[in-house]
Structure 1
Amino acid sequence: MPSVNSFKVQKRLDYKAPEFTALDIELTFNLADEYTVVRSQAHYKRLTADRKAPLRLDGEDLELKEVQLNGMSCQSRIEQGCLVIENVPDEFELTIENVISPAANSTLMGLYKSGTTYCTQCEPEGFRRITYFLDRPDVLAKYKVTIIAPEYGCSVMLSNGNLVAEGEKNGRRYTVWEDPFPKPSYLFALVAGTFDIIKDSFKTKSGRNVSLELYVDRGAYNRGLWAMESIKQAMAWDEKRFNLEYDLDNFKVVAVDFFNQGAMENKSLNIFNSIYVLTDKDTGTDSNFYNVQGVIGHEYFHNWTGDRVTLRDWFQLSLKESLTTFRDQEFSSDVASRAVTRLNAINVIRTAQFAEDASPMSHPVRPEEVVEMNNFYSVTIYDKGAEVIRMIHTLLGEDKFKQGLALYLSRFDGSAATIDDFVQCMAEVSGRDFTQFMRWYTQDGTPNVDASWTYSEDGRQLTLNLKQHTAPTKHQQIKEPFEIPLRTSFLNAKGQQVIPPELPCDGIILLNEPEQSFTFNVPDKQTIPVLLRDFSAPVKLNASYSDEELVHLAGCCDDPFIKMDSATTLIKRWCSANAAKVKAGGQAAQPQAVLEALSLVLEDKSVDPQLCAMMVETPSISAMMQYADKIDLDALQVLHETLEQAAARGLKPKFEALYAARKRGAYHYSVKEAGGRAISNLALSMLAVALKAEGKVSEADDLVLRHFNEADNLTDRLTAMRTAVHHELPSADKIAGSFKEQCQGDPLVYDNYFRTIASAPVESVVYRVRKLMREDENFELENPNRVRALVGTLVNSNPCAFHKKDGTGYVLLVDVVRALNAVNEQMAAKLLGPVLSFRRFDPERQELMRECLQQIRAIPDLSRSVFEKVEAALKDQ
């Protein structure tokens, strides 16, 4: 069993510049499943004045065959996972030959087999599983790559950059690729296999023609067409919005089935999890279309914010990921729906990220120490980081932000940068002091903002009183005040916006002290402040609105976030007021104010239908778990059911009208049509709830079964299946069986069946998940998509089933983590989130989760990824 000191803690302040750099490297791969020979020839140069410093090259799970220095054999040794060579000159050529086994590499890091395809994943530290090298992001080299393989099974062989040669030799095919841009090792990529190829082109604003190639599994050509369209949209958008043009003659995307992440931005050769490439009306939902477009954009935008300018060290990860996430959110806002994209991003922050802030794995946007870097590809780094970038954009405005970004990209082009470098560029173009703002990067935790207001006797002056407080966290007992931009407006009793002369023209109030007050001239005491418009800062706002004022905001405010948040706040208050009563066995009061707010949202014709569906849908229990510091799961389950039934029955006439008005006809994906389906499918689900609550189970069943049978697209079929299964309607097994039969042979579509079963709030779900793992031939423990769909859904999205007091969910988790720890530690670690914050639960569940974590802690040869999280949870006080 690993000890506390088994794994080295890496600290940001321990960063040291490299003693050597690689100027260029030539790689030759002789591909074979079990015995791939890798030959590297690298040109190294000493950077340090210490001429006695040895060369230390990173390596992991490599079979070393030969080392030559300037063409001659040389002495070397393996020490702490590094190849060490003493007495090297200041500049030299080093040739290394080693052997790896892609077929045996179940970690999906380095070079591995995805089904029949060879592919790579090198970020953050996977290149060291390919050959010995300076595997760190601040070493940038030019790459030339030769791939040799039998033509059978490898008709396509790709790497970064431009194809400079290809042919046959000794019965084997070869291709040679050269990338003119220096890059760190984590951006290296190789793919070899057999594919259908979708070809297109894009003409840049300067007139260059860029060849576009999308590689998908045989038979999946049509399912890749939307992804190709998304590539062209992303390229055009980046030119128009940020004046950033693509820089090579070709851009390639490959879809693979075995992938730990969503996608990888390797220079000119992006490798994608197939779920973010393949979609059409029969195999993808509206959400799939939206996500494919967004993820394609994200990885393409990395070409500048990540590839051309990379990271000095991995503690700067948010530099590329938060900036690129902000850019992909803006892309989706411009080409899809700004309001829907924004609310999606806000929901991630207010559920997953706030939960991470409150967990033992809480960390700043720029972490100070890590054990396993893969654990910090987190919602804090990506999504909270994107909110920090958005605040910079808010404070500077569009023009200054674009100037700052242009300065950053020109100043650090072709080099490795830091978060400080980026912020300094923003400071230079704006003349703004970012000293206090940097606390968003250095302090973890979620700031709480309390807001109250008073009126003068004549009602003509409103004094807004603001307080901020951030609770202590494990590594930071004292929190300094953040600089919090609160986008603000005022609303009168008629629902009209009021603009006091004291309000800055951009509507931004800056809260940068523990307590501040602001005074505004207003027409009367019925005028109220509208605070945190567009969720202008990632904070928890506690404002002293009355219930009537919240209903007014939900119905009249023009800001989508304020409308949604007002309804959510009413739900929180209702839960808080009724939790004790429910816990004692009583009945909760009717959520009258909530229903009034939701009714007004449904009546507001100016609200986009998809937005309306997002606002009116009953919050998940996972979301409701974030309403309080302590989680009473049993009470929440009752409150959730009560709220859903009250909304379904109280608003039933409106849902009937919405469902009756649904558009029929051939499926087409567009923002407008997706919105129509979203609201009509919500209406279907709520009508089923209402009818079942009224005892009309047969009527509910007929409605859902008819919807399933009439559906001509996956979005509608999936809604019907989920509704039938989750509400245990008589036709549930029939619909689920039909769905299974329709999608046999298509794992990505079949994953929807796994997700539906695993998310069902029914008694037997843990047993059913275990049975599917054991008996369903479509489940593969080695495939991350299957694990996420079945086990990940149960663990992360079905809290009442996973946290059942019989402990069966925790036993399942221990078994799965034990199995995954030996084959794919990243996936094992990703399943741990729901048990890390066990101290928030009731004593009985706390003890069960503590025992679960202790059993995981005792697994022999526990991986670093799992160890770090379990240790943090058990030590957390």
Structure 2
Amino acid sequence: MDIARTPSNPDGNPEMADAAMQPKDPPEIRREDYKPFPWIVSETRLDFELGIDCTRVRSTLTVARNAKAEPSPTIRLNGDGIAAIVVTVDGEPSQSWVMDGDDLVLTLPGEAHEIGIETEIDPSANSQLMGLYASGGMLCTQCEAEGFRRITFFPDRPDVLSTYTVRMSGPRAQFPVLLCNGNKTGEGGDGDTHWAEWHDPWPKPSYLFALVAGDLVARSDSFTTMGGREVELNVWVREGDLDRTEHAMESLKRSMKWDEEVFGREYDLDLFNIVAVSDFNMGAMENKGLNVFNTKYVLADPETATDGDYDGVEGVIGHEYFHNWSGNRITCRDWFQLSLKEGFTVLRDQLFSADMGSEPVKRIEDVRVLRGIQFPEDSGPLAHPIRPDSYREISNFYTATVYNKGAEVIRMMRTMAGEEAFRKGTDLYFERHDGEAATCEDFVKAIEDGAGLDLAQFRRWYSQAGTPKVAVELDHEGDTARLALTQTVPPTPGQPDKAPMPIPLKLALIDRKSGTHSGERLVVLDKDTAEFTFDGFADKPALSINRTFSAPVSIDREVSREELVFLAAKDDDPFARYEAMQELMTGHLVAAVSGDLGDNDRQAARSDIAQAMQSVIEDDQLDDLMRGELMAMPGQTYIAERMLVADPGLIHAEREALKADLGKRLSEQFHALYDRAEKVPFSLDAEAKGARKVKTLVLAYAAAGDPAKAAELAAHQYERADNMTDRQGALMVLAGLDSAERTGKLIDFYNRYQGNALVIDKWFALQASSLHPQAIEHVKALRDHPDFTLKNPNRVRSLYMAFAANPAAFHAADGEGYRMIADLILELDPINAQTAARFVPPLGRWRRIEEGRAKLMREALERIAQAPKLSRDTFEQVTRSLG
């Protein structure tokens, strides 16, 4: 699985909202307390009588005692806000059951039984979008992590695997398409009602159950697997969206072929369905044979989708398809093992996207996400290992740590083993654990055995939180270069003391005269300190370290601006070259914010940065996709992470001042680059995508250096644009300027795309994330716009998540940004607790912010914590953030 102001709960049903609320202090679930479930559920049969306002569910469970578990006279079937109408055991009405909170506990005397349960639910009232819910006249499900218990009573845990047979019936006119997991085994109808039966032969946990019923059309195709199986492929959407599904279908076929070639994984059903849904909490869900997707990651054409959207569709479709093996065929024993499937599958989708496009650019994009989201998570109150030891609400652990850092940890194993040996390890993992609910330890052991590695110490990456810091010193004497490395892992909540972890670092020592080196080396720092010596250097070389970002660590070293300028121009590793540019700018900005620069130093630093930037602009060996990465400035969040205590206002001011300075110093070079890029005709190939990328970057630098000229150039680009990337890039720049062109183009954009929800999401987000001095007032006005709703997670995120990620506005000195997000959380929590809880972390970073703003952020959190009937999702995030 891929991670505003009206009266309270205006769009949802009060009874349903209350059902989702839990006690403020839910029990702590601990990994060490895991016990196998005492009953095996070998078969699950479900019968749905579908209706938007009332759906009746009859479930039949075939159960037997689990010889590998402690015996129990009862079976606990989880529920959440549902009630049993009928309970039977072996075909007879049963009175031997009681309700324990939301759960149904049934006494079973024998060794094996058949349990029947009937429930009724109202999908139209389900604003939480978990379980079975209505979305624009259709019915769909989301069951990960604990949504199945909102449909029927069931042992809703990932280690209970069962085969599913499902019968669905409903009004033919309302639900002409009936979809479920697995293969369709029958269909028919009688008058206005029709039915379909589905069977999934592969045992799965309840979180992978899926059902969709609605008025849909499909783009259909087929794929022949390496074993000769002919697989029918369908991408189901609403009729008006069909012409925007070609890229999704092609991405699916590329994913299937790639997984066979790179990991040896073949698809195992006769049918693979993708359904696009407009109301969805996540990006997508990997349900066996029936992937349910947020429309954002299915629909794309040049007029409505940016190059980034195209990449997102391909990457998320790949991610969910790859889950068929790393998540479905082998699933998690318990939710503490979430990174077993998500970390591994993120790595797989990253490798896939790198192979489909530019490997170095993809690597930089992945690291940017890690540093922008996961590093702050690791240094804040919500820090946790990729395999946590406890939780209160599992939905709060769908985090960048579990997903992105989890992927980096597995990537390190691949780096140390080498690609061929790593493949042997993954083959062994799939062979050993196919059809099982496995653990992170099972995965590490398979890599250890298959690749021939000793990973005893490496396992600490799974149990220790925090981003390691590696201090680097390079000395030179005679013809020997001596590299001293020291690692520290900072304290995190519940883990004050850390043991050293193995850190694989790729490095090269570059001759300053020739700009060449004798080869890349891999060193592994597995102690607190270590020293490595390298002979054959008459002069001190330049150090290129953590090449390809071989370890998710923060490098701390004293390096001159002169050396960084050299590395930015000469390093042959694209990521290391990018890193030199980022270090060059970040070091200057940290010093400037800290007050450590005089006027002469400031001008000298800016001159050096401009020199490095010019070398990037004029390097004819670079493609524009990579040039764009090297031209990009470090984000404010990353700059703040390099400081013990950050002042967001000062960081913003210094960053904009540097951007303006570069825009003025390099105006001629920037505009020459723009003129060249503008001549490249539209296509989806790398050259054209790179041209669009650098054009937008030039506009951003021009907007800081010469706003009037930038407004004119951006308006010109907007008017001539024949694709969304150029049009959105121009509007992004205009949205941040106080110019006449701004208002006209925003109105034109809205009128042009009114009715297209995904594009209108962009319109909201562009204004909420803009550098305009009145951004807060603009967000307040947009909250009252007729197209804004709290019921749709995409729309909420487009306005408020974009705002929370806008440091200049969110960190307004008077605290208005914090109050706005707190108001949103309180208003959204009764409607959609999972989405509301995801807005807490930006407020939770108060400990790393200067005193005045920190006080206001904490006050906002305290106000949320005092609210009555707060969901357990939000309550856990707030209390942990307060400490």
The normalised TM-score by structure 1 is 0.96
Instruction: Tell me the alpha carbon deviations over residues 739-761 of structure 1, each in whole angstroms, 9 at most, x when there is no partner.
Output: 11111000100111101110112
Q: Indicate which of 53, 66, 78 corresponds to 1:58.
A: 78
Contact residue 481 and residue 537 of structure 2 kept, 8 A: no
Which residue is equivalent to 1:651? 666
Secondary structure of 1:719 counterpart: helix
Contact residue 696 and residue 726 of structure 2 kept, 8 A: yes
Equivalent residues in 2 for 1:551-590, closer than 5 Å? 551-581=565-595, 589=603
Which residue is equivalent to 1:534? 548
Which residue is equivalent to 1:805? 813
Cα separation, 2, equivalents of 1:531 and 1:322: 25
- The code of the aligned residue for 1:397 comes to G
Instruction: Tell me the alpha carbon deviations over residues 749-776 of structure 1, each in whole angstroms, 9 at most, x when there is no partner.
Output: 01111011101123322222122112x2
Cα separation, 1, equivalents of 2:743 and 2:596: 32
Instruction: Tell me the alpha carbon deviations over residues 347-394 of structure 1, each in whole angstroms, 9 at most, x when there is no partner.
Output: 111221110001110000100111111111010000001001100100
Which residue is equivalent to 1:361? 382
> Does structure 1 residue 839 correspond to structure 2 residue 847?
yes
> Does structure 1 residue 715 correspond to structure 2 residue 735?
no
Contact residue 481 and residue 540 of structure 2 kept, 8 A: no
> Does structure 1 residue 777 correspond to structure 2 residue 786?
yes
CA distance 1:495–1:628, change in 2 (3 Å): farther
Equivalent residues in 2 for 1:394-473, closer than 5 Å? 394-456=415-477, 458=478, 460-473=479-492
Instruction: Tell me the alpha carbon deviations over residues 849-876 of structure 1, each in whole angstroms, 9 at most, x when there is no partner.
Output: 111111100111001111111101112x
Which residue is equivalent to 1:685? 700
Shift of 1:568: 1.4
Secondary structure of 2:338 counterpart: helix
CA distance 1:777–1:586, change in 2 (3 Å): farther
Shift of 1:53: 2.6
Which residue is equivalent to 2:515? 496
> Does structure 1 residue 631 correspond to structure 2 residue 646?
yes
Contact residue 408 and residue 421 of structure 1 kept, 8 A: yes
Contact residue 51 and residue 90 of structure 1 kept, 8 A: no
Which residue is equivalent to 2:611? 596
- Structure 1 stretches lacking a partner, 5+ long: 501-505
Q: Indicate which of 145, 166, 180 corresponds to 1:145.
A: 166
Secondary structure of 1:844 counterpart: helix
CA distance 1:4–1:552, change in 2 (3 Å): farther
Instruction: Tell me the alpha carbon deviations over residues 528-586 of structure 1, each in whole angstroms, 9 at most, x when there is no partner.
Output: 22111000000000123221111111100011111111111122221232224499999
Equivalent residues in 2 for 1:178-577, closer than 5 Å? 178-456=199-477, 458=478, 460-499=479-518, 507-577=521-591
Q: Could you say what the CA RMSD is over the residues aligned between the two structures, in angstroms?
A: 1.9
Cα separation, 1, equivalents of 2:38 and 2:594: 63
> Does structure 1 residue 759 correspond to structure 2 residue 769?
yes
Which residue is equivalent to 2:748? 738
Shift of 1:737: 0.7
Cα separation, 2, equivalents of 1:829 and 1:118: 25
Cα separation, 1, equivalents of 2:813 and 2:601: 22
Shift of 1:88: 3.3
Shift of 1:479: 0.5
Which residue is equivalent to 1:618? 633
Judge which range, 578-587 or 670-679, deviates more.
578-587
Cα separation, 2, equivalents of 1:172 and 1:154: 9
- Structure 2 stretches lacking a partner, 5+ long: 1-17
Cα separation, 2, equivalents of 1:295 and 1:780: 25
Shift of 1:339: 1.0
Cα separation, 1, equivalents of 2:778 and 2:563: 46
Secondary structure of 2:52 counterpart: coil
Which residue is equivalent to 1:827? 835
Shift of 1:213: 0.5
Secondary structure of 2:677 counterpart: coil
Secondary structure of 1:861 counterpart: coil
Judge which range, 605-614 or 42-51, deviates more.
42-51
Contact residue 156 and residue 192 of structure 1 kept, 8 A: yes
- The code of the aligned residue for 2:673 comes to L
The normalised TM-score by structure 2 is 0.95
Contact residue 666 and residue 712 of structure 1 kept, 8 A: no
Cα separation, 2, equivalents of 1:866 and 1:6: 11
Shift of 1:663: 4.3
Cα separation, 1, equivalents of 2:737 and 2:626: 24
Contact residue 119 and residue 191 of structure 1 kept, 8 A: yes
Contact residue 127 and residue 791 of structure 2 kept, 8 A: yes
Which residue is equivalent to 1:854? 862
Which residue is equivalent to 2:122? 101
- The code of the aligned residue for 1:35 comes to C
- The code of the aligned residue for 1:497 comes to T
Instruction: Tell me the alpha carbon deviations over residues 69-127 of structure 1, each in whole angstroms, 9 at most, x when there is no partner.
Output: 00001121110321011133211100000011110001110000111110000001110
Instruction: Tell me the alpha carbon deviations over residues 449-505 of structure 1, each in whole angstroms, 9 at most, x when there is no partner.
Output: 01102111x3x00111110011111111110001000101110113533227xxxxx
CA distance 1:116–1:665, change in 2 (3 Å): farther
Q: Indicate which of 68, 80, 93 corresponds to 2:88.
A: 68
Instruction: Tell me the alpha carbon deviations over residues 230-286 of structure 1, each in whole angstroms, 9 at most, x when there is no partner.
Output: 000001111111111111111100000000000000000000000000010111001
Contact residue 547 and residue 570 of structure 1 kept, 8 A: yes
Q: Indicate which of 22, 25, 28 corresponds to 2:41.
A: 22
Cα separation, 1, equivalents of 2:850 and 2:807: 14
Secondary structure of 1:766 counterpart: helix
Contact residue 204 and residue 210 of structure 1 kept, 8 A: yes
The total of aligned residue pairs comes to 861
Which residue is equivalent to 1:503? none
Q: Indicate which of 741, 757, 768 corresponds to 1:747.
A: 757
Cα separation, 2, equivalents of 1:517 and 1:740: 60
Which residue is equivalent to 2:15? none
Which segments of structure 1 move beyond 6 Å, counting only runs of 4 or more?
1-5, 582-587
Identity of aligned residues (%): 39
CA distance 1:82–1:177, change in 2 (3 Å): same
CA distance 1:146–1:844, change in 2 (3 Å): same
- The code of the aligned residue for 2:85 comes to K
Secondary structure of 1:67 counterpart: strand
- The code of the aligned residue for 1:817 comes to I
Cα separation, 2, equivalents of 1:585 and 1:765: 31
Cα separation, 2, equivalents of 1:645 and 1:493: 31
Q: Which has the higher contact order (CA 8 A, sep 6+)?
A: 2
Contact residue 618 and residue 643 of structure 1 kept, 8 A: no
Cα separation, 2, equivalents of 1:709 and 1:621: 31
